[in-house]
A and B are shown apart, each in its own frame.
Chain A
Amino acid sequence: MLARGLKITKTTHMLVAAVATAVAANAMVAVQFTGLAGQVVLLALIFGSLAIGTSAISADIYARSSLTVSNLRSIGASSRSISSAVLVPVLVFGIAGSAFGAGVGAGLGMTLGGPGGPVTVLTEVLAVILTSSAASAAGVFAGGRAAWRS
């Protein structure tokens, strides 16, 4: 209900999921063809780009709904309850998109002749999902915090 009041719509969900899917899929393919140092750089890139993306999305939600946020505050909404309404859907769809993208990327990498065995690929998939999930959470938190302060 609160998310609806803050104008968080299916479009918002789709945007988050699509960004996370694209980043995770591309990174997952690349991860399979690089050494450890390259993988670290790639994971850092995933984290950075997704954090910036989700930060912008959450800041945009607050900006579009600044009047609503102010109205909700006047009837007792805490920053935590409003942040949760933004954080949860962005996080859920960010993780879902990351998982889907990592899966697609893993399959594509193996099809293209990636050198890793199933265990290695599974480990890489988990690393990509964890990194992108953490990035989504950090981005949403940072975006919300910046918007809240302003």
Chain B
Amino acid sequence: MAQLGVLQKPAEPANQSKYSVELKHVKKSYGTNGETEIYADLTFQLLKGTFVALVGPIGSGKTTMVNMFAGLERPTSGTIIVLGQDLTRMDEDSLAAFRASAIGLVPQVQTLIPELTVYENVELPLHFAKVDERSRRDKVDKVLERVGIRGEADKGVAKLSVGEKQMVSFARALVNDPPILLMDEPTEALDPLMSEVVLGLLRGDNMTEGRTIFVTTHDKRVTDLARRTLRVNKKIP
């Protein structure tokens, strides 16, 4: 079972309205009888607009945490409230609609659609959020410019390098200007140069301003940017 500890700054005061994410007695286990316990009783909050990093050994449940925040995985018990919405009470389509409007996700494993171009991949979340075509075009153009891949818009993502794909993932996560940005090991598969580009994005005001950022990482350069760092102490057996 993994345990979570605060390494840097202590938890913020318990004012419900200030939180973008609240976990209350969350238990998460896998297996038919729940024999693999990941989190036993997890209670913590993330302040709105804060940048929090989660560190810990490989296989300690960091990705599970990101997935639970995004409503991609449900806790075995307990409550997860994100922006005032209790994710544990929402059906799959409500969760999908919530993700489309409120969550930007940069997953550890590339989830871009290889049959589509860079532009189309970035446009998809806006399509699901039912944004009209003109606004979609404006938003996609702006975000591609912001992450520095405007020139690659018409390329198929299958032809891009790992670093370029990560930039597309960033653009896709940011295109709808979500209040919460979740990133799972955003610099892990990148060469030093591309890592610096990602770190540059994380340092940028227009990336972080007013947005709650939750990132899992092994990269000290990322935790140095975070306002608060949480650690998962144990590897899951």
Contacts and interface: CB of A to CB of B under 8 A. Distances in A.
Interface of A: 1-2, 4-5, 7, 68, 70-81
A75 B115 contact: no
A76 B92 CA distance: 10
B99 A74 contact: yes
Contact of A4 (B72, B116, B123): B116
Interface of B: 70, 72, 92-93, 96-97, 99-101, 103, 105, 107, 111-113, 115-116, 120, 123-125, 127-129, 172
Contacts, number: 64
Nearest to B99: A76
Question: Which secondary structure dominates chain B's binding surface?
Answer: helix
17 contacts: A1-B124, A1-B127, A2-B127, A4-B115, A5-B116, A70-B111, A71-B113, A73-B72, A73-B92, A74-B111, A75-B100, A75-B124, A76-B97, A78-B93, A78-B96, A78-B128, A79-B96
Contacts of A80: 93
Question: Which secondary structure dominates chain A's binding surface?
Answer: helix
Contacts of A76: 96-97, 99-101, 103, 125, 128-129
A75 B105 contact: yes
Contacts of B129: 76
A82 to B, nearest CB: 9
Nearest to B125: A75
A79 B70 contact: no
A107 B128 CA distance: 45
A14 B96 CA distance: 32
A12 B91 CA distance: 31
Given A77-B100, A81-B127, 8 more contacts: A2-B124, A72-B113, A73-B96, A74-B72, A75-B99, A75-B172, A76-B96, A76-B99
Nearest to B98: A76
Contacts of A75: 99-100, 105, 111, 124-125, 128, 172
Contacts of A68: 113
A130 B159 CA distance: 45
Closest A-B pairs by Cβ, 7 of them: A76-B100, A71-B111, A76-B128, A5-B113, A76-B99, A78-B96, A78-B93
Nearest to A8: B115
Contacts of A7: 115
A75 B175 CA distance: 11
Contacts of B72: 73-74
Contacts of B70: 74
B69 to A, nearest CB: 12
Contacts of A5: 113, 115-116, 120, 124
B174 to A, nearest CB: 12
Nearest to A76: B100
Contacts of A78: 92-93, 96-97, 128
B122 to A, nearest CB: 10
B156 to A, nearest CB: 11
B81 to A, nearest CB: 19
A126 B123 CA distance: 41
